[in-house]
Structure 1
Amino acid sequence: MSAIIEFKTARLIARQWRDEDLLSFAQLNADPQVMQYFPSCLSRAESDAAAARMRGLIAEQGWGFWAIEEQASQRFIGLVGLNIPSPELPFSPCTEIGWRLASEFWGKGYAIEAAQGALRYGFTQLNLAEIVSFTSIHNQPSQAVMRRLGMLQSDNFEHPKVPVGHTLHEHCLFRLTHARWAALEANTTS
């Protein structure tokens, strides 16, 4: 079992999952607006199982998809973090960054703020050479976040876990190398 890494940004806390997060997470995963770029919404049991997997990975390795809490309100607002995706992906092995926030917290810059903290952790603590992100080709909001993070669009691919013929089957891949991230960080701090 690893030491659990948590981090703060100006307005957010990335932390280990708590039992009290489960209801809000289930509501987020049942929201058709939040889940419009996923094959389906999640049932309460599926949502709880996903949270248990994320909690277990953080307990095991110290990092993963963290629960995100708004500092001012101390409310759970979603997740952000790093993950090693399934080996069936055409660009595996890799480490991905991902996020999912409750819709009431959209438009506040929280996804970018939390993702910047996760990228910093991945590049400075895990010493990753590259971090990727991917989404449906139709998911323009997430693609915009990826671009704002400095990620560069790479190839499109057919996601092996989305049925062939499904409107969400084709995904786009974005990449960010450690060198590019470091250059972008140097520009923002100077």
Structure 2
Amino acid sequence: MIETDRLILAEWRDDHRAAIAAINADPEVMQYFVAPMTRAESDAQVDRQILSQAEHGFCFWAIERKADGALMGLAGLKRGAPGTPIEADVEIGWRFGKAFWGKGYASEAARAALAHGFLDPAVPRIASITVPGNRPSWSVMERIGMTRAVEHDFDHPAVPHGHPLRRHVTYFIKRP
């Protein structure tokens, strides 16, 4: 468990599943992904995070608001996707429900995740990716000190050819 002033980056529990499934099913939240997730897809995502935590000591954690325990979304670290320019890197990412947008929660959670990631001396940099149109996400990347690496922008192999969200931009931050 990682704590910030307002948040808890928590390991996943079964009681988180319904709330994250609702966030993952929201078309507005998922507008920069190929499609909203079904409940089964969301549960599989949680299962992957639990496995990542066990194998690597990090994952995209469940983000709880300290004040009331509300599940706000997910944020944290994972291994870079195979077949991408960041596959050898640790990737940072976040996704929050609409009720939690615009309040600085993503930046707060991301800073805590960065600090956790850089505790490992074998991690020289951390990457983040998104689609060019996802200004809110790359704005968070810039607020937490990441720099765009245009030479590493790419077409994501997990997104179908011809899909408007196939192109991805890449950001990095080096160990302080």
TM-score strictly above 0.5: yes
Deviation at 1:159, TM superposition (A): 0.7
Moved more, 68-77 or 52-61: 52-61
Instruction: Report the structure number with the largest CA radius of gyration.
Output: 1
When normalised by structure 1's length, the TM-score is 0.88
2:112 is equivalent to residue 117 of structure 1:
yes
- 2:33 corresponds in structure 1 to 38
2:87 is equivalent to residue 75 of structure 1:
no
Query: Which residues in structure 2 correspond to 1:58-69 (within 5 Å)?
Result: 58-69=53-64
- 1:143 corresponds in structure 2 to 138
Which letter does structure 1 place at the counterpart of 2:171? F
- 1:159 corresponds in structure 2 to 156
Deviation at 1:103, TM superposition (A): 0.8
- In structure 1, how many angstroms separate the alpha carbons of the residues matched to 2:80 and 2:87? 7
- 2:174 corresponds in structure 1 to 177
| SS of residue in 2 equivalent to 1:20 | helix
Summarize the Cα distance change of 1:164–1:28 in structure 2 as closer, same or farther, 3 Å threshold.
Answer: same
- 2:127 corresponds in structure 1 to 132
Which letter does structure 1 place at the counterpart of 2:64? E
Deviation at 1:80, TM superposition (A): 0.7
Identity, % of aligned positions: 45
Deviation at 1:165, TM superposition (A): 1.1
Which letter does structure 2 place at the counterpart of 1:58? Q
- In structure 1, how many angstroms separate the alpha carbons of the residues matched to 2:56 and 2:82? 18
Which letter does structure 1 place at the counterpart of 2:87? S
Deviation string for 1:162-189 (max 9, x for gaps)? 11211101110001001xxx3xxxxxxx
Deviation string for 1:67-126 (max 9, x for gaps)? 110000111111111110222113421110000111100111000000000001111x22
Deviation at 1:60, TM superposition (A): 3.0
| SS of residue in 2 equivalent to 1:132 | strand
- In structure 2, how many angstroms separate the alpha carbons of the residues matched to 1:91 and 1:115? 18
Q: What is the aligned counterpart of 1:14 among 6, 9, 14?
A: 9
| SS of residue in 1 equivalent to 2:20 | helix
When normalised by structure 2's length, the TM-score is 0.95
| SS of residue in 1 equivalent to 2:42 | helix
| Residues matched between the structures, number | 173
Deviation string for 1:34-89 (max 9, x for gaps)? 00000000000110111111012213332111111000011111111111022211
Q: Is the 8 A contact 2:86 2:127 kept in 1?
A: no
